[in-house]
Structure 1
């Protein structure tokens, strides 16, 4: 037992994969807070130009980035805090549940099933948190809002549109997981029975992974504009209904 969880092959593999993700995220953090933010801001600005029928200007984009970079970094810091808080809270709850089930006397298989169910519930909650974070980044680029205010604005904006956001998150997650699986089996495992090497596939998979990230950033920006349009339509209908009710009373 480790923290109430039986050391089955599934648990060992999951813990190893989680540790690899943590180390990888920590190592790539400097790139996340620089190049990744810059590329996301560029995608959001490009989508905004498409919606407003404006021509993309590199010089204007540079001026915008210089103006909004502080609030963009501030929002990303809050995104990191939210993600780390969600993962930490899940780990604490998972350990507490597993220890409680172990004290009760449940079998190791039942404890694993309970942990899997808790993981599924956490996946839905975590997916909603990621959607809020992605829209908050878009908001910090297009609106004069940053930090926790952008997070609150995002949570209010996506009300009633959560299912669409979950579909976007699910699509991008499946795509990235598929490419990561290919990288694991086709690049990390270099040699096969015939001694052939698959190193040449690495750059292709990197390009595919970058393309999935690009599509994910574009869909987040499009989802933001969709939520804005839906809220404007809802406000218009509500105003019309109130006006009609007042006219009926008069």
Structure 2
């Protein structure tokens, strides 16, 4: 990032994308190493999960259709019923293994990228070995923050279900059903996007400040004030790009039976590359947004203090007290 702290507050939607691209391009060697070691496996696991889940569903649906045309009580019916139960058990075991592995590597990738961008900003000496050395320390704090966000999302969806239930009971079959349903869907989407933005900011706060868990979420919520719509449109854009890539993978690879195997493999490699680049870009962007929000609130980031905070993870410094590490207000 080539802008001074006080200039970051003026960086808007396109400027954030530009700053993120410049950071990746200027430090492409270390970001390439992070991508190859962490983000590429993450994307590979995600895409393989889609393919394997699709195979499980196809097998289960095929057996359930066959079961519908089989006489109940016969040995064949019992065998098919047992096979379907086993398929569902394997499916949920696979899902559990996938989410566990994806969760761990996602946290490691977040820690590596946020730390790297912060080191670039503070002009710290940066090597890939240092980044990897920091990751096992930071990811534990990130796990607490992620679990806090998971609780918040769970409560948000419980509240959503409660509101929908009340809506169904009170309004029922009135003429306002469609209009109110659209309004509720819109409000749900806005709330979910808002929580997503806080999630990303809280992840960066967890790495760069002493706060983590719900405290990091509160700091993320306060930081995003004044830049909420910029952040929402940025993450919405990234989400649309990710959805388009997912649809392309489903269409060209998972359902591309008319294409030859070699063509499908080529498409899969392209999707893997694009997904890895999009993931890296998104992680860098969320860190840049953090610096933009800090500048917007005139919270000057003392580069030496932040550098010391980053050094704590490697044991280079004695841990400082919160008042020494946190970012001092900057008054214009």
TM-score, length basis structure 2: 0.57
With 149-158 and 52-61 compared, the bigger mean Cα shift is at 52-61
Quote the residue 2:287 is aligned against: 221
User: Once superposed, what is the RMSD of the aligned Cα atoms?
Assistant: 2.4
Q: Which one of 174, 177, 197 corresponds to residue 106 of structure 1?
A: 174
The correspondence of residues 1-250 of structure 1 with structure 2, limited to 5 A, is 28-102=98-172, 105-106=173-174, 111-192=177-258, 196=260, 199-200=264-265, 201-232=267-298, 236-237=330-331
Structure with higher RCO (Cα < 8 A, 6+ apart):
2
Matched length: 210
Shift in alpha-carbon separation, 1:32–1:96, aligned structure 2, 3 A = farther
Shift in alpha-carbon separation, 1:49–1:181, aligned structure 2, 3 A = same
> Contact (CA 8 Å) 1:172, 1:213: kept in 2 or not?
no
> Contact (CA 8 Å) 1:136, 1:150: kept in 2 or not?
yes
TM-score, length basis structure 1: 0.75
Instruction: Measure, in 2, the Cα distance between the counterparts of 1:180 and 1:113.
Output: 30
Query: Aligned-pair distance for 1:133?
Result: 0.7
Alignment deviations for residues 75-101 of structure 1 (CA, whole Å, 9 cap, x no partner): 111121122222232233223313432
Instruction: Measure, in 1, the Cα distance between the counterparts of 2:279 and 2:148.
Output: 21
Shift in alpha-carbon separation, 1:177–1:113, aligned structure 2, 3 A = farther
Q: Which structure: greater helix fraction?
A: 1
Structure 2 gaps of 5+ residues are 1-91, 301-328
